[in-house]
Amino acid sequence: MIEKEKDHMTEFSGFELAPSILRAVADEGYTTPTPIQIKSIPSLIEGRDLLGVAQTGTGKTAAFALPLLNRLGKEPGKPDHRRPRALILAPTRELAGQIHDSLRTYGRYLGLRCGVVFGGVSIRPQIKMMSQGVHILVATPGRLLDLMNQGHVMLENVEVFILDEADRMLDMGFIPDVKRIVKNLSSRRQTVMFSATMPKTIEGLAGTLLQDPVQVEVAPTATTVEKVEQRVLFVEKGKKRALIGELMNDEAIKRVLIFTRTKHGADRVAKHLQSHGIETDAIHGNKAQNARQRALDAFRNGEIRALVATDIAARGIDVDGVTHVINFELPNDPESYVHRIGRTARAGAAGIAISFCDLEERAYLKDIEKTIRQSVPVFEDHPYHSVEIANDPGTTKRSPQKQRGQRYRNPENFHDPRRPSKPSHASHANSANNQRKSNGGQRSSRRPSGRAA
Ligand code: AMP
């Protein structure tokens, strides 16, 4: 059953949340709850279990965090040593860190202690924090299990358990860890599960974890996709680096997130841009946590203009004011494309996403267009545009060496991605159907390049 949108809940004051929480929300400048918040918050306040299909960028963190803070804030008390009252599991360190930050933000007027634990950093401060006690613990599964096995975290007092980005947990091979953790939870708990897609395994997991859950769903793909001005540039693989160097001459590209498929690719692009005098850093699973955090902070506060990332590292990155996303390489998974371009156009802003597509990636583009149910307009009037790649049907895999027959045109448009040619085959006809499409079945076989926690 999909919970009907509750129209009267169009203001935060319509929810039965403590005044101190409403005040913190107002401090953040939120005026209207997002659809996932409207659909989730009342049921969560009632204490129901919930299964939410929503992606990062929809406001899902506040959707589960506000009712949680509201519940625990009624009787904050002193936290018990090693025994949190709420547990939030997230697949990546970045997401765990961001959830923790959000809890501190929304809970700033409450006397609750929140802590976060993840791998890749020293365990000692986390042991110390747990011995002092926290009310809410945010964790990645691997490190939490380590702490549990060493007796530093006990879960029997957990009243609220939240599993975020369950499908990504699956992709990253964390489901066995999650199940081990769940075994330690009391059955008298409220459980909340969010997932961007609903593959069979996740559906099965939801069946075992949740009791009579309210089900809510929002369609972020359509919203995100519609807000982002998308362009694809057909370019030979060997010319991508030169192309990105040229594109970066455009001053309209103020804060750009660049995606590659591999960690080494990310490093190579970052080095290339640095050698052109562009402040750039890379963020991926091979980097130490503090290096990743430093890069993210520098990107957030504008010290660096470009951040090159892999999909896993960028998952959940929440940086305002990203003017452009550049797909240096297209992802082979359409959902990742949607996640990537959603890093721009945050919180109602507009954004531009430019994708480089070489011959080998033509098939990926085809899948993406099928998923988003639109054709991505082609940046034809560009010196790097390859007619041969543009004309390739995208059904066969061909070696990149066979690329030839590039045609150059109208170099004036070169630096201005906002002045692309008319879309070549842009038909937005199906925009009513332009909704998030779960293709979770395909995703389950895909393995990312590294474990994040
Ligand atoms: P999330 O999907 O939880 O990652 O949230 C995406 C972004 O939306 C974050 O930057 C939040 O701060 C922001 N946000 C969450 N709820 C609201 C709201 N009701 N109004 C405006 N921004 C919001």
- Indicate which residue's Cα is closest to atom 18 of ligand 1: 30
How many A from CA of 364 to the centre of ligand 1? 30
Domain count, the chain: 2
Query: Same domain for 126 and 180?
Result: yes
- For residues 269 and 199, membership in a common domain is answered with no
Q: What is the pLDDT of residue 418?
A: 33
Q: Tell which one of 15, 34, 68, 94 to mutate to probe ligand 1, the residue whose CB is within 8 A of the most ligand atoms.
A: 34
What are 120-168's pLDDT values in tens digits? 999 999 999 999 999 999 999 999 999 999 999 999 999 999 999 998 8
Question: Per residue in 36-62, pLDDT tens?
Answer: 999 999 999 999 999 999 877 788 999
Report the atom number in ligand 1 closest to the C-alpha of 28: 12
380: exposed, middle or buried (Cβ count in 10 Å: 0-12, 13-18, 19+): buried
Residue closest via CA to ligand 1's atom 15 equals 59
Question: Hey, which of 15, 30, 296 would you mutate to test ligand 1's pocket, going by the most ligand atoms within 8 Å of its Cβ?
Answer: 30
Q: Do 208 and 108 fall within a single domain?
A: yes
Kindly give the distance from the C-alpha atom of residue 6 to the centroid of ligand 1, in angstroms, as a whole number: 19
Is the model's pLDDT at 9 over the cut of 90? no
58 alpha carbon to ligand 1 midpoint, in Å? 6
- Whether 330 has a pLDDT exceeding 90, the answer reads yes
**Whether the predicted pLDDT of 8 surpasses 50:** no
Tell me which residue range forms the domain holding 297. Answer: 228-404
Q: What is the DSSP string of 385-403?
A: --HHHHH--S-S---GGG-
pLDDT value of position 316 = 58
Residue 43, H or E segment: helix 35-45
Same domain, 190 and 237: no
Mean model confidence pLDDT for the chain: 82
Contact between 345 and 274 under an 8 Å Cβ cutoff? The reply is no
Q: From the alpha carbon of 57, which atom of ligand 1 is closest?
A: 2
In-domain check, residue 187? yes
Q: What is the mean pLDDT of residues 446-452?
A: 33
Angle at 277 between CA 276 and CA 282, to 5 degrees: 85
Question: Cα(418)–Cα(228) distance, rounded to whole angstroms?
Answer: 12
Whose C-alpha lies nearest to ligand 1, atom 14?
59
Residue type, 36: I
Cα–ligand 1 centroid distance for 59 (angstroms): 4
Do 235 and 189 share a domain, yes or no?
Answer: no
Q: Are residues 195 and 242 in the same domain?
A: no
Average pLDDT over residues 89-106: 94
Q: List, chain by chain if needed, residues with CB within 6 Å of any ligand 1 atom.
A: 30, 32-34, 37, 56-62, 318, 346-347
- What CATH number has the domain bearing residue 109? 3.40.50.300
